[in-house]
């Protein structure tokens, strides 16, 4: 079992899904009649996007952008590469960017700037996890936050270490021996 690689579970599956449905209710309340577009970020944000979209009961679309920053390390490189642009038109649409985790903010900064080029009517951000950090490279306003977590490296529910553990249903901290 991959969960045996964890030192501890920070967020169990039921708690994550409960929070996802609460965020979905907030989005339904705020985006009535606006047919918003959710934008997920590869690869970590896909699990969150897929649960969130199915909890949102009003008409909406979703699309995907690709952004890569981490490589295989556990601290942000600060260098973000866009690997895939959106495919549907965002012009005059209400756009909600869906991110797995707000860490240094480098990814959100670059993706946000990319989306603004597509002239949306509005652009807001939803992050499942918000890491508590003293010094953050980029301060970006986040409209919906799932959980505030300590400044630790976590895996599961889309988040990886060396491309592993994305399929864990919970979010947890790896045992030290698994970080090489």
What are the residues binding Mg ion (CB under 5 A)? 70, 160
**Does residue 97 belong to the site contacting ligand IMP (CB under 6 A)?**
no
Residue 15: DSSP 8-state? H
The answer to whether the bond into 153 is cis (omega within 30° of 0) is: no
Q: 13-30 vs 46-55: helix axis angle to the nearest 10?
A: 60
Q: Which of 163, 173, 168 is nearest to 16 (CA)?
A: 168
User: Contact with ligand IMP (CB under 6 A): which of 21, 53, 69, 162?
Assistant: 69
User: Contact with ligand IMP (CB under 6 A): which of 38, 48, 97, 107?
Assistant: 107
The yes-or-no answer on residue 113 being catalytic is no
Cα separation, 126 vs 138, whole angstroms: 16
Q: Which tokens belong to 22?
A: 């609460």
Which residues between 136 and 165 bind ligand IMP (CB under 6 A)?
153-155, 159
Which residues between 7 and 66 bind ligand IMP (CB under 6 A)?
44
> How many residues sit close enough to ligand IMP to count as binding (CB under 6 A)?
17
Catalytic residues: 103
Residues forming contacts to ligand IMP in the complex (CB under 6 A) are 44, 69-70, 76, 99-107, 153-155, 159
């Amino acid at each position: 079992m991959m969960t045996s690689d964890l030192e501890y579970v920070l967020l169990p599956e039921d708690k994550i899904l409960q929070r996802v449905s609460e965020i979905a209710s907030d989005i339904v309340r705020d985006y009535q009649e606006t047919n918003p577009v959710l934008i997920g970020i590869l690869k970590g944000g896909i699990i969150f996007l897929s649960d969130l979209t199915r909890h949102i009961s009003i008409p909406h679309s979703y699309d995907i952008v690709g952004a890569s920053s981490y490589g295989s390390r556990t601290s942000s490189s600060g260098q973000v590469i866009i690997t895939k642009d959106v495919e549907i038109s965002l012009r005059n649409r209400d756009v909600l960017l869906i991110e797995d985790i707000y860490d240094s903010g480098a990814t959100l900064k670059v993706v946000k700037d990319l989306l603004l080029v597509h002239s949306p009517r509005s652009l807001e951000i939803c992050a499942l996890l918000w890491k508590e950090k003293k010094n953050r490279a980029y301060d970006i306003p986040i409209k919906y936050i799932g959980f505030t977590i300590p400044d630790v490296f976590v895996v599961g529910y889309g988040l990886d270490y060396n491309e592993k553990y994305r399929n864990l249903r919970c979010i947890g901290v790896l045992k030290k021996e698994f970080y090489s």
